A and B are shown apart, each in its own frame.
Chain A
Amino acid sequence: MRNWFKSGAPWIWMTGGAVSISLVAVVGLLVLIAWRGLSFFWPSTVYEFDLEELNGQRHTVIGELYDSEKVSAERVLSSGVKLPEQHDEVITRYLLKTGNREYVDLDFRWIMETQIKTKTAPQDIAVFERSTNGNFYGYVEGLLEAGEAVNATDKRAELIKRMERAIALNQQADDLQHGPIGSINYELERLRLKERGLALNGELDEAAKADFEAQRQALHDDYLVLEKELFAFRDQASRDAVIVRDMDGRQVTLPMQKVLDVHFPNDMGFFAKFGHWVHQLAKFVSSDPREANTEGGVFPAIFGTVFMVMLMAVIVTPLGVVAAIYLHEYAKKGPITKMIRIAVINLAGVPSIVYGVFGLGFFVYMVGGSLDQIFYPEALPSPTFGSPGVIWSALTLAILTLPVVIVSTEEGLSRIPSSVRQGSLALGATKAETLWRIIVPMASPAIMTGLILAVARAAGEVAPLMLVGVVKMAPTLPLDGNFPYFHLERKFMHLGFHIYDVGFQSPNVEAARPLVYATAFLLVTVIIGLNMSAISIRNRLREKFRSLDQ
């Protein structure tokens, strides 16, 4: 034993243990996020519980099993919950998601295992996903058309048919509202600003005024037509309703207009569930958030993240490559170049929030404020570029990721054997030609790597964005059908900020939590995918030049 200790073997094991802990932590973390994020969309069984209170009162609760934990009875008692006289030291309690938010006080509730008398999973419990007030659980009792009961042989098929009709109508109404009607509003605002601009320059005469008035009238007339159409769609969509019996035996009429989806989880086979899962996952990625971001999808956040990151890539690539080429090919090798290089590397280690502060002060207030003074005086005092926006976020992150691109490109340049350069020069090419025709194409995988790493870093960065342009809910995307199509001054939504906002600022954290996991999983997948591709490109590049060297 003593010899064993003296040999140092236990300490080797300890260092080995550190690696194991790191590995378990990394893999565990990823599995946790993936599991929690993906299982949310799996249709889970809905149970009907028969509960008995301490005073003998019995009632029924219908809900999904959300979570369960073993807690000490002591802790339960100290939190004010009463337990029967005889109880175990450790008690299992279940968190149920009961939905039906407008009829019960809490859509999540803890129940003790001691309360449960029976637990069943009836086949015909329906889960309604609604556009407001969250899920509704209950039994389908009947269908209404314009207030009259509908006789249908297959109730479920009829329900789904009518639901799809309402969804299609709602979709048409939404398209109308966001498409043509949105454009009219945008045009009206542009007219207002144009008029104000003329007034500021003193060029607004009676003729111009009349012209503006005529244009406005024309838009208004268009609007009235569209509005009529919109109301017609809405009217038709509100025709049907469904009667549902909830856990308290109440007959609740749900307007079909509000129903987004209905399924019978206890009556689904594995493949039906899988199909539902894929469908829900697709909806999550492609639809807009609802209910203060706690439900629905994350499409605007995905769009915002991608748009901002692409904008950033367009800015950072030329700048980073030029700086790297200068440092490696043109600058004199000396202490100053070395110092600059170290400084650039170190900038990558400066906290991102510092870049955010710089971006807010310099880009938003100073540059943006001046732009407003010069180009958009008619919109003042409401700022155009003088407030946080997607362009400033992209610029800030471009500066933040500049060191990544420079370092990676330089590394690529230094891997190119000097014999290649000398060969080119010896054949009579100028330095610029050598660079442009030989060096840069050979370094392009390294540049690509740097860019991918920069994009991965930028996509995960949140702290600086909180200062320079990200918002919890952006009414419009930075890209739409209204001239000039790219609206760089607009604020945008971001996956990372979405996680922070929904997880920590939302009123109903419990309901939003699975959504946060799903969003986190999405973000992690994107970033790890980008990193993996960067690594593989880098490795391939190394192999290529290793063979060149020999």
Chain B
Amino acid sequence: MAEEFSLSLAGSRKRLVTDKLAKYGVTTGAVLVLTALLLIFVYLLYVVQPIFESADIEKQTTLKVQSQGKTLALGMEEQNEIAYRMTDGGLVEFISLQGESSGSVILQKQLAGKVTAFSQTIPSKGMMVYGFDDGTIQIIHPDFEVSYPNDQRLIEPSVSYPLGESHLTIDESGGAIKHLAFEMSDEQAGIAAVMADGRAVFMALTAEQNMMTEEVTWTPVSTVLPDAPAKVDQILLLPNLRNLYLRSGNRLAIYDISDVDDVHLTTMMDINSPGANVTKVRLLTGASSLIVGNDNGDISQWFEVVKDGSRKLTLIREFKAEAGIIDIAPEFFRKGFLTLDDEGYLGIFHTTGNTRLLSEKLSDKPLEAVAISPRANAILVEEPGLLSLYHLDNEHPEVTWSALWQEVWYEGYPEPDYVWQSTSASDEFEPKLSLVPISFGTIKAAFYAMLFAVPIALAGAIYTAYFMSAPVRSIVKPTVELMEALPTVILGFLAGLWLAPIVEENLPGIVMLIIGLPIGVLLAAFIWHNLPKSIKQATPEGAHSLILIPVVILVGYAAFALSTPVEYWLFGGDARKFLTNELGIDFDQRNSLVVGIAMGFAVIPTIYSIAEDAVFSVPKHLTNGSLALGATSWQTLVRVVILTASPGIFSAVMMGLGRAVGETMIVLMATGNTPLMDWSIFQGMRTLAANIAVEMPESEVGSSHYRVLFLAAFVLFVFTFCFNTVAEFVRQRLREKYSSL
């Protein structure tokens, strides 16, 4: 018999092969599908991960510096192909960094005169100013012209003179220029200088364009700064030409120069860190912050903060390098900076991120100067006689744990705060990427939605499962569940365009409705209770909710009909004005109340459906036992049914919360989407999901903003996934428990 059987199988080898093939086919297909689902998690993580990497440098080339002289300024053009170097001998040279010719000098220019002072503008302007021993200055700007002959990129350096090639006299009588600062915009320029005789001079230049020739002429006005310190170490000039700082050792003298005819000293203050001396001060990009380096390695950031109506330079945050600071180089477009210290360490910092991204010993010999490329992807470091080019990998310095989740003191803000403001028109904008306000908005929206949905959904579920007769239940349950299928875009549209104006105009009516509904129901119940027995017995058991439908409609109608009279009676005819003027509560038309109601409706069916299942599947012998022992049906419900079904009810609420947290369209349409941090029910919010929907399409691929939005999506994903898993797990356990009962 067995032999025969195997024979018949052997005859259908093809069938067996097909069977195997089907098995492997299905398995492979399913594994692929499940991997695809896993891919979501992996991919989100893959995009998010770079923002938490710190900076990394890698040496590319080392070149010999061929000419003499101490370096005053070092820099690179955008493509990191050509570096420039300015020396104290007045030499300007361009050095090739890439290809076979690397290290060779491409262009050299010798300035006339004996150099006594030097300064540079903020990096994005890229201008340098030389001061000479005859009290004159010369402003130069390294230019790079890019052309594409034969589809090959060719960059040619040159030197231009923004204020003309001839020297500009600052002061004829004061002798040599000792210290110097210069800033320039399209219409204005300012030069500050300390002369050999100790006087500090400020010269303001105003541009005037000749209508005919379009030639620009600059008219200078100069004044001597009053009360200047005897020994000045450094001058700093703000590009907006409002303030001028004279540093004398550790003291900073702050001048108000906004009016050239009334230049005056506003205040003097110490800016060193305790027990240390200031070695160098630089302006951060955007020029509202000072970065102060000390000889013990402390670095501090200062900017002006408005307090009690006056502006005051305030210490914001501190960083720590390994040893005394020699040089500070701010980045071109971000709020980061580089430092060199006297033990040969390179430090990379970011102010908003409040972090040291890198500290690496580059050399045992003392380093001289550091420069960062405009795109912040290369660093040039000079040690005596040698120039080293490093590749810098530092894509997202502004995103750190503290920048995302802690209070950050942003430039121009009176105090540390949680702010989400991702984009702005200005280049020098400090992105404010705190996830706290939008996470708060998410929680707030979910909270108000749950506040509205949980009581209705749970009470409804309990009634449907426990009291309602089977035929009525088979109609009611699918009807409520139908709501789950309603596209949320429709709920959002109704909330924003239909409900929000109604709520705004009938505020007293809404409040009366919320109070009136339970009272109306109780009243109806009491009247019913006192009706003659004959009527009561004629109605089927479990018809309460059908009887109550007209009551609900009536209460609703009454609440809105009475809204305007009540408004007159209590609030002088305009409840909204009353709220704003008398109670000082701001009122947005699209507020949390509207979102709560609309999103509540979206969540009710989720909670209702799961909770109803849980209550309904409580084994009948438990309730029958309780009733047989003399408990009323309400007592049985509270002490037996709900208690037994409580894990299921819990999982229903969790599922509902998961849905409320991730809901996008309702929040997008029913709130103003302002990232506020305020629990007020009359104000809107911005949630994680809505924020993604609003900002994602405009976000630049690969930017910090893009990745932070992915992080927001990842947070949503993990959050809802965990919630749902807990809920699902509880539900499965409950099912097993029921089946064993």
Interface: A528 (CB within 8 A)? yes
Interface: B339 (CB within 8 A)? no
Write out, one digit per residue, whether chain A residues 314-357 have a CB within 8 A of any chain B CB (1) or not (0).
Answer: 00001110110111011100000000101111110111111111
Bound CA–CA A345/B726 (angstroms):
12
Q: A74-B568, A342-B732, A431-B22 are in contact. Are A4 and B497 (CB under 8 A)?
A: no
Residues of B within 8 Å of A353, CB to CB, are 662, 664, 689, 692-693, 713, 716
Bound CA–CA A459/B459 (angstroms):
31
**Smallest CB-CB separation from A428: which chain B residue?**
B8
Interface: B16 (CB within 8 A)? yes
Bound CA–CA A351/B445 (angstroms):
15
B575 CB to nearest A CB, Å: 9
**Smallest CB-CB separation from A366: which chain B residue?**
B43
B490's contact among A8, A524, A531, by CB below 8 Å, is which? A524
B439 CB to nearest A CB, Å: 14
Q: A21-B456, A357-B696 are in contact. Are A523 and B487 (CB under 8 A)?
A: yes
Check B493–A351 contact: CB distance below 8 A.
no
**Smallest CB-CB separation from A526: which chain B residue?**
B487
Interface residues of B in 534-588 (CB under 8 A from A): 544-549, 551-553, 556, 564-565, 567-568, 572-574, 577
Bound CA–CA A243/B609 (angstroms):
61
- Interface residues of B, dominant DSSP: helix
Bound CA–CA A358/B669 (angstroms):
23
Residues of B within 8 Å of A513, CB to CB, are 497
Residues of B within 8 Å of A357, CB to CB, are 44, 692, 696, 709-710, 713
Residues of B within 8 Å of A428, CB to CB, are 8
Residues of A within 8 Å of B544, CB to CB, are 12-13, 16-17
Interface residues of B in 22-44 (CB under 8 A from A): 22-23, 26-27, 29-31, 33-34, 36-37, 39-40, 43-44
Which of B87-95, B179-187, B520-528 contacts the other chain? B520-528
Check B488–A460 contact: CB distance below 8 A.
yes
Check A346–B633 contact: CB distance below 8 A.
no
Q: A22-B480, A323-B33, A357-B709 are in contact. Are A500 and B720 (CB under 8 A)?
A: no
Interface: B675 (CB within 8 A)? no
Check B662–A12 contact: CB distance below 8 A.
no
Check A499–B489 contact: CB distance below 8 A.
yes
B548's contact among A13, A351, A467, by CB below 8 Å, is which? A13
Which of B62-70, B297-305, B425-433, B460-468 contacts the other chain? B460-468
Interface: B729 (CB within 8 A)? yes
A527's contact among B479, B487, B608, B709, by CB below 8 Å, is which? B487
Bound CA–CA A344/B40 (angstroms):
12
Interface: B173 (CB within 8 A)? no
Residues of B within 8 Å of A456, CB to CB, are 485
Check B573–A89 contact: CB distance below 8 A.
yes
B661's contact among A69, A351, A433, A435, by CB below 8 Å, is which? A351
- Looking at A22, A331, A430, the one whose CB has the most chain B CB atoms below 10 A away is A22
**Smallest CB-CB separation from B467: which chain A residue?**
A12
Write out, one digit per residue, whether chain A residues 8-22 have a CB within 8 A of any chain B CB (1) or not (0).
Answer: 111111111111111
Check B37–A19 contact: CB distance below 8 A.
no
Bound CA–CA A418/B146 (angstroms):
76
Interface: A42 (CB within 8 A)? no
Interface: A399 (CB within 8 A)? yes
Check A326–B725 contact: CB distance below 8 A.
no
Check B490–A73 contact: CB distance below 8 A.
no
Check A74–B574 contact: CB distance below 8 A.
yes
Which of A25-33, A107-115, A189-197, A482-490 contacts the other chain? A25-33
Residues of A within 8 Å of B489, CB to CB, are 460, 462, 496-497, 499-500, 523
Check A13–B482 contact: CB distance below 8 A.
no
A235 CB to nearest B CB, Å: 43
**Smallest CB-CB separation from B484: which chain A residue?**
A531
Check B689–A399 contact: CB distance below 8 A.
no
Interface: B659 (CB within 8 A)? yes
Residues of A within 8 Å of B318, CB to CB, are none
Bound CA–CA A340/B528 (angstroms):
52
**Smallest CB-CB separation from B22: which chain A residue?**
A432
Residues of B within 8 Å of A447, CB to CB, are none
Interface residues of B in 692-710 (CB under 8 A from A): 692-693, 696-697, 701, 709-710
Bound CA–CA A497/B697 (angstroms):
15
Q: A4-B529, A17-B548, A431-B22 are in contact. Are A402 and B37 (CB under 8 A)?
A: yes
Bound CA–CA A345/B476 (angstroms):
25
B18's contact among A326, A331, A352, A430, by CB below 8 Å, is which? A430
Check B33–A350 contact: CB distance below 8 A.
no
**Smallest CB-CB separation from B463: which chain A residue?**
A15
Write out, one digit per residue, whether chain A residues 293-313 have a CB within 8 A of any chain B CB (1) or not (0).
Answer: 000000000000000000000
Write out, one digit per residue, whether chain A residues 395-429 have a CB within 8 A of any chain B CB (1) or not (0).
Answer: 00001001000000000000000000000000010
B476 CB to nearest A CB, Å: 6
Q: A319-B29, A351-B689 are in contact. Are A16 and B467 (CB under 8 A)?
A: yes
Interface: B634 (CB within 8 A)? yes
Interface: B717 (CB within 8 A)? yes
Check B574–A13 contact: CB distance below 8 A.
no
Interface: B289 (CB within 8 A)? no
**Smallest CB-CB separation from A461: which chain B residue?**
B487
Bound CA–CA A71/B8 (angstroms):
89
Interface: A362 (CB within 8 A)? yes
Residues of A within 8 Å of B480, CB to CB, are 19, 22-23, 26
Check B455–A18 contact: CB distance below 8 A.
yes
Check B693–A20 contact: CB distance below 8 A.
no
Interface: B492 (CB within 8 A)? yes
A33's contact among B34, B483, B490, B548, by CB below 8 Å, is which? B490
Interface: B478 (CB within 8 A)? yes
A-B contacts, 9 listed (Cβ < 8 Å) = A16-B548, A17-B545, A329-B26, A354-B40, A357-B709, A432-B22, A436-B22, A462-B487, A520-B494
Which A residues are closer than 8 A to B by beta carbons? Answer: 4, 7-27, 29, 32-33, 69-75, 78, 89-90, 318-320, 322-323, 325-327, 329-331, 340, 342-347, 349-358, 360-362, 365, 399, 402, 428, 430-433, 435-436, 456-457, 459-463, 466-467, 496-497, 499-500, 503-504, 509, 513, 516, 520, 523-524, 527-528, 531, 535
- Known contacts A18-B458, A345-B724, A352-B662; can you find 19 more A-B pairs with CB under 8 A? A9-B529, A12-B467, A13-B524, A17-B545, A19-B468, A71-B505, A75-B574, A325-B26, A326-B31, A330-B23, A342-B729, A345-B728, A347-B40, A349-B658, A432-B22, A462-B487, A463-B488, A503-B669, A528-B482
By Cβ-Cβ distance, the 9 closest A-B pairs, closest first, are A8-B634, A351-B662, A74-B573, A460-B487, A326-B30, A16-B544, A18-B459, A432-B22, A13-B525
